[in-house]
Amino acid sequence: MNVIETRRLEKAYGTDETRVHALRGIDLRVQYGEFLAIMGPSGSGKSTLLHILGGVETPTSGQVFLEGTDLASLDDDERTLIRRTRIGFIFQSFNLLPTFTAEENVALPLDLSGMSAKESRRRALDALSLVGIAHRRNHVPSALSGGEQQRVAIARALAIRPAILLADEPTGNLDSVNGQQVTSLLRRLVDEEKQTIVMVTHDAGVAAQADRLVRLRDGLIENDVRQIQTRPRVRTCLFKRVP
Amino acid sequence: MVLWKFTIREVKSRPGRAALTLLSIVIAVSAVVAVNVSSSTTRRAYEEMYAKLAGRAALEVIAEGGAAYDEAIVPKLEKVPGVKTAVPIFRGPAKLFRKTGKLLFFVMGIDPLRDEAVRDYRLVEGEFFHDDEGALIEAGFARGLGISVGDEIGLLVTRGYTKIPVIGFLAPEGAAQFNQGGTAFVTLRAAQRMFGKPRSINATSLVLEDSADPAAVQTAIARILPPGLTVRPPLARAQLGRETLQSLDQGLGFAYTLTLVLATIVILNTFLMNVGERRRQLAILRALGTTRRQIMGMLLREGLVLGIVGTAAGMVVGLAGAYGLSLAMARAYNATVNALEINAGPFLLAGLLGPGMAMIAMLAPAYLAGKVTPLEGMRPLVAEVTQPASPKVLLLGIVLTLLTGLALVASVLGYLPIEFATPTGVAYTCSLVLIIPALLSPVTRLIAKVFHPLLGTAGELAQRQIVRRRTRSTLTVGVLYVGLSAGLGLGTAILNNVQDVRNWQAKTFVGDFFVRALQMNLATNDSAPMPESLKADLAAIEGVTAVEAVRFLQDVTAAGMQVNAVLRDYEEQDPNRLLLDLKAGDPSQVRQRLLAGDVVVGTVLAHRAGIKAGGEITLRTLEGPKSLRVAGITNDYVSGGLVIHLERAVAKKLLGAEGADIFIVRADASALHQVETKIKALCDQNSLLLLSFADLRRRLDTLMNGVVAGLWGIMTLGLIVAGFAVANTLTMNVLEQTREIAMLRVVAMTRRQVRNTILAQAVILGVFGVTFGVIAGVVSAYTTNLCTPAVTGRAIDFVLSPSLLLGTYVVALVIILVAAWLPARRAVRLNLLIALQYE
């Protein structure tokens, strides 16, 4: 069953003379519990695709269905509510609020949706425990390492129990050890929590952890392959073209 | 709730910026509270002073000019239906002699048996009147001067010097508090003897029956009064003082309106910076599901909270300021401030203005914040591209400037009511701010070019950074421009007024020596008159060519208004030199016309009563209302221009005026020294003050210098606030340029060059804002000058002060450079490795 589906998705920027086509008709389906990696050279449209999937940007034409709702047909407030409840974001630069503690950062989207303080704290703590950083819950971001900050960001994305988790270069600002830990964490979330993840990355090693790899070039899907993971999953996979 | 937490933490994380915002609100709110509370406190203190004297009297009967009248009227007054008691009094000013000095004093002659029906007296030491001897004085005042019960005090009144024993002290309450306690209560008979007016009184206090209608009784009494007497509520006496207070109120009101405008611009700039700095975090909030409305609501709430906190603090500071201002104002009016007159009015006004100002200033930043997209939180920060000037804003600025400018010109030329001039002037000043964004690029480029030898490449880099942040730079230039234009407009108007006072004094009070009993109270015009017999003594001195007696008379009604009369001996003046600052009328005829019984009217009175030279004015005299021909209109500063000039001999007949407040002595130039020695001996003998023309000029200069010093104080305060705005802008620029500055430092720039780049931004912004402000200030001053005659009736020569212009320019630039020092130091001390990773 599809969590998200795009139909003939196009996105263009600029006016006539300076018009740039970032996406030229993308058809993509992501199923529940799937871990999809998107790769491609700079300017291929991978970030634009992720933003449209997350409802932070609207397509020039085409449709994006999240759990059956066309995001392109919603107004800003409706898309905001969907983001608040169904989509989790993980950013390359973590994007934690510097004046909030780890726990408060994780509880933020829950508080915004009107959940009681007690319940949001409980769920924030669960999410922090899930990513293994509950012991640092009272620290502000500046007191955490890059890897720890990214784990807090993942916990924040998970706390709302999203239908889909969108990760934009989640290991881009991390060293190899921390990058490895974050990748393993994402893999574990898919395997153990059945979390759907769409991840944009430049790192082939990170992409190799995904179940499926989509390569973009000039706004089009160049290839879309399913990767069969073996145990241990890290850096061991087989490739198989998706029908 | 979570957004509140976000707001509170953000405010806490930038205490300096929050403090600047709060400071702006506190200054504006405290100005509103201080001016309003002190104004009502002083007004109440002034009215209370007369209310205490009036006691339970609802009406009083007096003669025009405060002259004496026959006490036989009292029983007739008592028979008027509605009158319960009629109590006669004889009051008059005097000069009290003490070893420690001489001071203005009042003598109040009362009927001991009847006066308690009107006023309360509580004896705290000594005894009440047994016969017609002795005086009662307020205990605190007496003790302060080292007077004990049983002592004799020396008083100079119009009939000469007299001594009187102190028989008791009064508690500081009721009538005893009049003139801050400086009043001697004597029996009516003693006062009549002292002033040489047997069987005469100069006021009758009327206590009415509880059921009586004061207006009806007043009409009934007016019908039976002989010509020259008038009946009025006792507090009407305070009216003239209120007039003086009103002009002071207007000046202070203008000052606080200016403070409000400046504060709003500073707050707007600060909030815009806050939002700019938080842009990324706002984008994160948006990405995580915060709606536009929630973001806007969060920021408006932040503005409201800062507004409320700033208003609360401003009210406290304002109360302290009000106390200081009230003391200063009450001292000028010889009134006592017991407690501040605190009512809801000023606080409601401040309560609306403070948060309202903050909310209005927050509207635009909140709207901009609502437009922040989640994408901004997902992308790494990139250098801002230069913001272009909005054609819409420019068009709006041009249209508003033209419309408000036309309305202003129409008001000045009389096509629109003159009351429109102030609001349209303010709107015109603010409209020009909208044109600044379009001027920013060419003007700053020009300044950078002109200052290139001084600023070098730093100037070019600075210019680009200024243009890059167009809104912020516009608001900073706007603060400087609005502050300086209003300050210079006000400053030039004050300096022109000061010069006008000097010219007036030089034209009207011309003589070699001035003899007075005391320095006159400039606010209330109260003085202690001297006996007229002194004129003959002065004239008898060898070498004296003329002695002119001058008398200032209060309680005069002309054209239905309470005015002051200036009575002079025009016969004693040089026939070839008219001692008036004549604005209308034939100078060659005016002196003769005054001697013949005509009057000269002050410009302000003429304006209010619509009187022209050659016209007529009704003066209430001892013989009833008289229509007098107006020989001329003169500029005058006695009682703010609400004044009528008469020949003294004529006034004696019409108003029964006696005594002299000043003797102006003119002498042979060759005998000045000998004359001075002899006048000095005469003055010592009579304990009088002797002033030369130079002394008089020096005293006036001291007073005027105080006004000018106050003006500089206000201007400097305004510039310091503008300096805060510049420091804030540059700090923000430094923060934003952290990465670039680090990159430049790595590539080539020395610390000194970095500092110069930041200081160059201050120089360029400062030169732009200050020049623009000074030019606009000159225009504003000229417009104010054009409007003055229509508003006040006083035409004042327009003169630009080079020292004020140059001084303001230099002081403003110095303050701006000092304000830029901290941001420059911050830029210099950047840690390169950290700065290179700064986002």
Higher pLDDT, B682 or B718: B682
Q: Using CA atoms, how far apart are residues B516 and B313, in angstroms rounded to an integer? A: 48
For residue B376, the chain A residues in CB contact (below 8 A) are none
Q: Which chain B residue is nearest to residue A159, measuring alpha carbons?
A: B288
Alpha helix (H) residue ranges in B184-278: 188-194, 214-224, 239-277
Comparing C-alpha atoms, which of B662, B521, B750, B623 is closest to residue B64? B623
User: DSSP 3-state assignment of B37?
Assistant: helix
Query: Are A97 and B284 within 8 A, CB to CB?
Result: yes
pLDDT interval class at B838 (50, 70, 90)? low
For residue A96, the chain B residues in CB contact (below 8 A) are 284
Of all residues in chain B, the percent with pLDDT exceeding 90 is 12
**B168 bridge partner residues:** B126, B136
| pLDDT, chain A, mean | 87
Residue B650's identity, in one-letter code, is V
Determine the pLDDT at residue A233. Answer: 47
For residue B281, the chain A residues in CB contact (below 8 A) are 97-98
**B689 bridge partner residues:** B516
On the question of a cis peptide bond just before residue B374, with omega within 30 degrees of 0, the verdict is: no
Residue B66's identity, in one-letter code, is G
Residues, chain A = 243
Comparing C-alpha atoms, which of B40, B490, B29, B485 is closest to residue B249? B40
Query: Are B9 and A100 within 8 A, CB to CB?
Result: yes
Query: Are B287 and A83 within 8 A, CB to CB?
Result: yes
Asked whether the beta carbons of B156 and B529 are under 8 A apart, the reply is: no
User: Which of A30-44, B695-709, B749-763 has the lowest average pLDDT?
Assistant: B695-709
Query: Are B289 and A89 within 8 A, CB to CB?
Result: no
Q: Which of B13, B288, B380 sits opposite A112 (nearest CB)?
A: B288
Check pLDDT > 60 for residue A204.
Answer: yes
Determine the pLDDT at residue B240. Answer: 46
**Which position has the token pair 């002051």?**
B564
For B630-638, what is the mean pLDDT?
Answer: 87
Asked whether the beta carbons of B146 and B233 are under 8 A apart, the reply is: no
pLDDT interval class at B787 (50, 70, 90)? confident
Asked whether the beta carbons of B92 and B267 are under 8 A apart, the reply is: no
What is the reported pTM?
0.63
Half-sphere exposure of B776 (CA within 13 A, CB side): 28
Longest dimension (CA), chain B: 102
B510 Cβ contact partners less than 8 Å away, ≥ 6 residues apart: B577, B579, B664, B693
Residue B786's identity, in one-letter code, is L
Q: Which of B2, B288, B378 sits opposite A168 (nearest CB)?
A: B378
Which DSSP state fits A202?
S
Residue B202's identity, in one-letter code, is N
B48 Cβ contact partners less than 8 Å away, ≥ 6 residues apart: B335
Q: Which of A91, A99, A112 sits opposite B378 (nearest CB)?
A: A91
For residue B292, the chain A residues in CB contact (below 8 A) are 76-77, 80
Check pLDDT > 90 for residue A23.
Answer: yes
Query: Are A99 and B287 within 8 A, CB to CB?
Result: no
Higher pLDDT, B525 or A50: A50
User: DSSP 3-state assignment of A148?
Assistant: helix
Comparing C-alpha atoms, which of B584, B590, B646 is closest to residue B794? B584
Q: Does the predicted interface ipTM exceed a cut of 0.95?
A: no
Check pLDDT > 60 for residue B503.
Answer: yes
Q: Using CA atoms, how far apart are residues B745 and B753, in angstroms rounded to an integer? A: 9
Query: Are B2 and A76 within 8 A, CB to CB?
Result: no
Asked whether the beta carbons of B66 and B555 are under 8 A apart, the reply is: yes
Q: Which chain A residue is nearest to residue B372, measuring alpha carbons?
A: A56
Residue A132's identity, in one-letter code, is G
For B76-84, what is the mean pLDDT?
Answer: 91
User: Which of B42-46, B569-573, B587-591 has the lowest average pLDDT?
Assistant: B42-46
Q: Using CA atoms, how far apart are residues A26 and A62, in angstroms rounded to an integer? A: 9
Query: Are A80 and B290 within 8 A, CB to CB?
Result: yes
Higher pLDDT, B159 or B776: B776
Asked whether the beta carbons of A131 and A155 are under 8 A apart, the reply is: yes
Query: Are B291 and A80 within 8 A, CB to CB?
Result: yes
Asked whether the beta carbons of B580 and B590 are under 8 A apart, the reply is: yes
Q: Which of B9, B13, B284 sits opposite A95 (nearest CB)?
A: B284
Question: Which pair of tokens denotes residue A154?
Answer: 């993942």
User: DSSP 3-state assignment of B108?
Assistant: strand
Mutate to test the interface with A, among B282, B288, B376, B382 (most CBs of A within 10 A): B288
Question: Which pair of tokens denotes residue B690?
Answer: 């002797």
Query: Are B289 and A109 within 8 A, CB to CB?
Result: yes
Q: Which chain B residue is nearest to residue A120, measuring alpha carbons?
A: B2
Query: Are A51 and B289 within 8 A, CB to CB?
Result: no
Longest dimension (CA), chain A: 55
pLDDT in tens, B108-121: 899 988 888 888 88
Q: Using CA atoms, how far apart are residues B532 and B264, in angstroms rounded to an integer? A: 59
Q: Using CA atoms, how far apart are residues B761 and B37, in angstroms rounded to an integer? A: 42
User: DSSP 3-state assignment of A56?
Assistant: coil
pLDDT interval class at A234 (50, 70, 90)? very low
For B763-792, what is the mean pLDDT?
Answer: 84
Determine the pLDDT at residue B458. Answer: 81
Rounded (to 5) percent helix, strand, coil in chain A: 35, 30, 35
For B208-212, what is the mean pLDDT?
Answer: 87
Determine the pLDDT at residue B789. Answer: 74
Query: Are A51 and B378 within 8 A, CB to CB?
Result: yes
Determine the pLDDT at residue B136. Answer: 92
| CA atoms A57, A61, A66, A71: torsion sign | positive
Q: Using CA atoms, how far apart are residues B529 and A4, in angstroms rounded to an integer? A: 100
Q: Using CA atoms, how far apart are residues A38 and A169, in angstroms rounded to an integer? A: 10
Question: Which pair of tokens denotes residue A196?
Answer: 């759907």
Check pLDDT > 60 for residue B520.
Answer: no
Asked whether the beta carbons of B431 and B404 are under 8 A apart, the reply is: yes
Q: Is B639 left (phi over 0), alpha (psi -120 to 50) or beta?
A: left
**B66 bridge partner residues:** none
**A24 bridge partner residues:** A10
Asked whether the beta carbons of A180 and A150 are under 8 A apart, the reply is: no
pLDDT in tens, B793-837: 677 788 888 888 898 888 888 888 888 888 888 888 877 666 655
Chain A neighbours among B 3-22 (CB < 8 Å)? 3, 5-6, 9-10, 12-13
pLDDT in tens, B797-807: 888 888 888 98
pLDDT interval class at B161 (50, 70, 90)? confident
Query: Are A95 and B377 within 8 A, CB to CB?
Result: yes
Comparing C-alpha atoms, which of B371, B383, B391, B388 is closest to residue B471? B388
Q: Using CA atoms, how far apart are residues B811 and B770, in angstroms rounded to an integer? A: 10
Chain A neighbours among B 249-288 (CB < 8 Å)? 280-281, 284-288
User: Which of A39-53, A63-77, B333-347 has the lowest average pLDDT?
Assistant: B333-347
Q: Using CA atoms, how far apart are residues A56 and A80, in angstroms rounded to an integer? A: 8
Check pLDDT > 80 for residue B639.
Answer: no
Check pLDDT > 50 for residue B90.
Answer: yes
Highest mean predicted confidence (pLDDT) among B115-119, B268-272, B450-454: B450-454
Residue B680's identity, in one-letter code, is K
Comparing C-alpha atoms, which of B499, B498, B485 is closest to residue B780? B485
The number of C-beta contacts closer than 8 angstroms across A and B is: 80
Residues, chain B = 839
On the question of a cis peptide bond just before residue B587, with omega within 30 degrees of 0, the verdict is: no
Which DSSP state fits A201?
-
| CA atoms A129, A135, A138, A141: torsion sign | negative
Residue A177, number of CB atoms within 10 A of its CB: 9
Q: Using CA atoms, how far apart are residues B583 and B725, in angstroms rounded to an integer? A: 46
Comparing C-alpha atoms, which of B721, B22, B30, B23 is closest to residue B302? B22
Mutate to test the interface with B, among A108, A142, A165 (most CBs of B within 10 A): A108
Using CA atoms, how far residue A170 sits from A41, A157, A206, A225, B378, in Å, is 17, 12, 9, 21, 11
A interface with B, Cβ–Cβ below 8 Å: 47, 51, 54, 56-57, 76-77, 80-81, 83-85, 89, 91-93, 95-100, 104, 107-109, 111-113, 117, 156, 168
Comparing C-alpha atoms, which of A25, A84, A53 is closest to residue A196? A53
Determine the pLDDT at residue A240. Answer: 45
Q: Which of A95, A108, A168 sits opposite B2 (nearest CB)?
A: A108
Q: Using CA atoms, how far apart are residues B730 and B550, in angstroms rounded to an integer? A: 61
Check pLDDT > 80 for residue B159.
Answer: no
Query: Are B291 and A81 within 8 A, CB to CB?
Result: yes
* d(CA B5, nearest CA chain A) in Å: 9
For residue A109, the chain B residues in CB contact (below 8 A) are 288-289
Query: Are A56 and B291 within 8 A, CB to CB?
Result: no
For A105-130, what is the mean pLDDT?
Answer: 89
pLDDT interval class at B584 (50, 70, 90)? confident
Phi, psi of B96 (to 5 degrees): -95, 130
Residue B810, number of CB atoms within 10 A of its CB: 11
Highest mean predicted confidence (pLDDT) among B257-271, B295-309, B370-384, B435-449: B435-449
Determine the pLDDT at residue B523. Answer: 45
* d(CA B640, nearest CA chain A) in Å: 60
pLDDT in tens, B360-409: 888 888 888 888 888 776 665 544 455 677 888 899 999 999 998 898 88
How many degrees, rounded to 5, is the angle at CA B21 between CA B16 and CA B26?
115
Query: Are A56 and B375 within 8 A, CB to CB?
Result: yes
B172 touches chain A (CB under 8 A): no
Mutate to test the interface with B, among A48, A49, A50, A51 (most CBs of B within 10 A): A51
